[in-house]
Amino acid sequence: MDSVLKSHEDRMKKSVKNLEEEFNNLRTGRASASLFDKIRVDYYGSPTPLNQVANISVPEARLVVIQPWDKSLIGEIEKAIQKSELSLNPASDGKVIRISIPPLTEDRRKELVKHAKQIAEQSRVAVRNIRRDANDDLKKQEKDSEISEDDLKRGEDEVQKLTDSYVKQIDELLDAKEKEIMEV
């Protein structure tokens, strides 16, 4: 029974971790190096993460500076940023790329909050699906006489407590992200 709880708790942790990563990639009007985590640059024929070919710094709240280690990559980096879903316009001086993060409009903020809620709901559904899988595994163990009916009931209660705690974490992450997005 403990192995079932442990393995399913690990899956729930991964769901919350995945949600955190998704939220990091949501643009909030504040400059952040994590905005560029999913951007790939063509580096000698292979798509390479931007942070592996350049230094990304945030000197001000609304400015990102990207300093490529190989100056010949500046054009490729600019192209990759323009093609991304970030809607940002990079400007380069031949040595570094500067990206000014424009403030978000009220409508765009509301869209982002709506999107964040959808992502959070997907995570809640994932956690509930893991709960269902855990309960199915426990019922199978009880059917196979590996655990007693009392152990089954105890196990289901533990799974529900785990589910509640991870759903609460998801809700807290969503609240924090909403505040961050709606902040002017």
CATH of residue 56's domain is 3.30.1360.40
66, 100, 134: which is the final residue of a domain? 100
The pLDDT > 90 percentage for the chain reads 43
What's the confidence (pLDDT) of residue 163? Answer: 95
Using the structure block, give the residue that is written with the tokens 């309960």.
135
Coil vs helix vs strand at 142? helix
For residues 145 and 93, membership in a common domain is answered with no
pLDDT in tens, 121-132: 999 999 999 999
Residue 74: domain span:
33-100
145 φ/ψ sector (left φ>0, alpha ψ -120 to 50, else beta): left
Q: b/e per residue, 97-111, with b = 16+ CB within 10 A?
A: bebebeebeeeebee
Average pLDDT over every residue of 36-62: 87
What's the confidence (pLDDT) of residue 184? Answer: 59
Residue 28 has pLDDT above 80, yes or no: no
Q: CA angle 177-179-180, nearest 5°?
A: 60
